[in-house]
Each structure stands twice: as C-alpha cells, then as structure tokens.
Amino acid sequence: MAIRKVEEKEEINMTPMLDIVFIMLIFFIVTATFVKETGIDVDKPLAEMAEENKLANILVAVSGDGEIWVEGRPVELGALQSVIARLYAENPKGAMSIQADKDAPGRHIVDVITEAKEAGLQDISVSLDQP
C-alpha cells in the first residue's frame, strides 16, 4: 500500500489558478495605456468644474516660463505639430491634455491647441486639479 502511494503523482489542480491568472492578464492588457509622461512637474491650477478624463494619453506640458514639454524633452512650437501628429497616430483614440503651469502665459495654451488641431486632434482639454 505504501509503495503504491509513492507511484501515484500528487497533482494539484491548476485550473482555478489558471482561470484567475488569465482574468488578471486580460484585465491588465485591456487597461494598459502607454502614457508618455511630459518630463516636468507643473503646478496645475484648481478648478471646481474639472472632470475626470480617462482617455487623456497625449500629454503636453507648458512650464511656468512658457516652454513646451512632450515625452520628457522640450519641444519648439514649430516642431510641436509633427510630434503631436506622431503621438496621435500611435494612439488614434487618444485625447490630449495640456498641463499648463499656473504662471505660464495663457496664450501658449492657445498655441498648443492650434497645433493640435492642425495635427487633426479634436478632443483637447486643459489639465486642472479638482479642489
């Protein structure tokens, strides 16, 4: 009897674990968004009417002295349109969020919006913190 027991393989039933692992895998694949951070931390203004924007994954930052940052490096206004067009092509469902510093000149936001519209983007928002 004892000898027989050694021969029998003690198999753990893997099926429930596999189910869970697959569900987790699918969840993370579906929710995966590859965001390219802008590279600078801006002091965002507060606004009561700010709404959560889950689709925003094209991020453009405007620093306090009016520099435009995308993908971790500063970008000249003249080159911004092609950069945004490339990001938009990688992410056709994406929306753009402009992270402008409190002290940045407001007209730079308009410049960024103009370039983004030229690049074909429609869903553009200004990033604001909820109080």
Partner 1 sequence: MRKKHGSAEDEVEVDLTPMLDIVFIMLIFFIVTATFVKESGINVAKPNENDTPPPPDAKPKTVALTVTEDCWVRLQGRRIDPGQVAPNVQRLVAERPGAPGIITIEGDAQTGCVTEVMDQMLIGGAAGVSLRAVEY
- Looking at the Cβ atoms of 74 and 111, the one nearer to partner 1 is 111
Q: 75 Cβ partners below 8 Å, 6+ apart?
A: 68, 69, 83
Sheet holding 68-70, edge to edge: 73-75, 68-70, 56-62, 95-100
Phi, psi of 61, rounded to the nearest 5 degrees? -110, 145
Of 51-59, 69-77, 80-88: span binding partner 1 (CB under 8 A): 51-59
Tell whether residue 91 is a contact of partner 1 (CB under 8 A): no
- In the complex, the residues that contact partner 1 under the rule CB under 8 A are 14, 18, 21-22, 24-25, 28-29, 31-35, 45, 47-54, 56-57, 59, 62, 97-98, 100-111, 113-114, 117, 123-130
